Structure 1
Amino acid sequence: MGIKSFQGRRAAPVKVESAPILVEDYMASTLITFKKEQSVAEVMEAMIKNKISGAPVVNDFGELEGIISDGDCMKQISESRYFNMPIGDMKIENYMETNVAVIDRKLSIFDCAQLFYNHHCRRFPVIENGKLIGLISRKDILCAALRLRGHYWNC
């Protein structure tokens, strides 16, 4: 009697999915936002409480009106000394950045990294149909790059 070879049931091939590489995969979608009528002091308190360095300013329709950052608040603090004004009584509409570069959620994180490098900003609002749907920061891109190490970056 000859020797029989037996191969047990083989497992189905494992599909290796490519790692997510789009802004929408790494952006924050639950956001702290402000209204332009809020005071600088109120915004400073919220930034400290939530450990953030800036946030979008939106209108009642969820449309982006600007970005307020800790640097913008520093400007108000500095000016308050010269104009003898209490710190934070001014509205953020006087200090927020209104010329804000925005990006699409379908942009690759690699292209987004290039934009961060070129624009020297800390965060980009993500807009869809005129509405703010997310925010991606430099830190989000760093986290994405760490998650992607070990994957081939074919995009």
Structure 2
Amino acid sequence: MKVEDVMTRHLVCVKEGDPIRNAIERMLRYRISGLPVLNDDGRLVGILTEGDLLRRTETETERKRPRWLEFLLGPDRLAKEYQHTHGRRVGEVMTAQPVTVTPDKPLDDVVHLMEKHRINRVPVVKDDQLVGIVSRANLLLALDAVLRDVPPGATGDDDIRRQLWHAMKEASWLPRGAIDVLVRNGVVFLNGVLMSEEEIKALSVIAENIPGVKEVRNRVVWCEPMSGMVFQSTETSQDTA
């Protein structure tokens, strides 16, 4: 799935010369937490988010530091913060030079950027023009659409067991030959020994994702490597749909 498949195309934007009050009104009206900022030529120059407006002198939330720390930070840093907490125009408060992505990039690239830069949205740019934006909400909508598109169920117990074995082979963390699988009327019974409770829980997830599975009964136990002691998992004897 690519960026262009999930991005929002109809955008609410502001100009860098707009008063911040206009930007706040748009955020509240459209129930969004961030706005792309354009210059007079319509090119993306920044992004204004709720985070940019958290520390403001009007709400008495600007940073207050001891004099010695201000001395260490230097005048440039303090001047920049002053613009951010006292600025009246969007361009004075926005985050300049935002991280962007092109429409043809895979969604994995967007998620990587969000995690790396700790951001909630990424503007989409093509030929130096803003064409969309991808937010975490867009990713959730894409996930919801995929989950709704449920594949047809397996034709029978043998088919379920065959698909489950294939999925287990694809799991690099799962030891080969450690698990016995029995399927009866769509109910999967799992028995065996693994090395951790997390492996047992993940095994249940594998089984739950096989089309046609009605129930998973995971009776796998786990063995503590150092002591050799065997423990019952919290998954054991629990039926998961």
- Give the TM-score range, shorter chain: 0.7 to 0.9
Question: How far is 1:98 from its partner?
Answer: 0.3
- Please list the CA deviations of residues 6-49 of structure 1 after superposition, one character each: whole Å capped at 9, or x if unmatched: xxxxxxxxxxxxxxx11001101110000011111111111101
Aligned length: 125
SS at match of 1:37: coil
CA distance in 2, matches of 1:44, 1:67: 13
CA contact 2:87–2:93 (8 Å) conserved in 1? no
**Bigger relative CO (Cα 8 Å, ≥ 6 apart):** 1
Gaps of 5+ in 2: 63-84, 152-241
Equivalent-residue separation in structure 1 for 2:104 and 2:143 (angstroms): 17
> In the alignment, which residue of structure 1 is the partner of 2:37?
57
- The code of the aligned residue for 2:30 comes to N
Larger strand share, 1 or 2: 2
1:89 Cα deviation from its structure 2 partner: 7.2
Matched, 1:79 2:77: no
Q: CA deviation at 1:112?
A: 1.6
Contact 1:39 1:88 in 2 (8 A): no
Partner of 1:96: 94
Letter paired with 2:102: D
Q: CA deviation at 1:88?
A: 8.4
Maintained 8 Å contact 1:44/1:73? no
RMSD over aligned Cα atoms: 2.0
1:113 match: 111
The 2-side partners of 1:69 and 1:113 are apart by 18
Distance 1:88 1:28 in 2: 31
CA distance in 2, matches of 1:101, 1:140: 17
* Aligned AA (1:65): V
Residue matched to 1:22: 2
**Structure 1 residues without counterparts, runs of 5 or longer:** 1-20
Q: Residue type matched to 1:122 in 2?
A: N
Query: Could you list the per-position Cα deviations for residues 62-116 of structure 1 after superposition, in whole angstroms to 9, with x for gaps in the alignment?
Result: 21010001121223xx22347xxxx987111111000311001011112222221
Q: Bigger shift: 109-118 or 60-69?
A: 109-118
From 133, 136, 141, the counterpart of 1:135: 133
Structure of greater Rg: 2
Contact kept in structure 2, 1:124 and 1:137, CA below 8 Å:
yes
* Amino acid aligned to 1:70: E
In 2, the alpha carbon distance for the partners of 1:108 and 1:148 equals 16
* Alignment correspondent of 1:146: 144
Q: Distance in 1 between matches of 2:86 and 2:12?
A: 19
Q: Is the 8 A contact 2:7 2:134 kept in 1?
A: yes
Determine if contact 1:22/1:107 at 8 Å carries over to the other structure: yes
> Helix, strand or coil: the match of 1:146?
helix
1:120 Cα offset (Å): 0.9
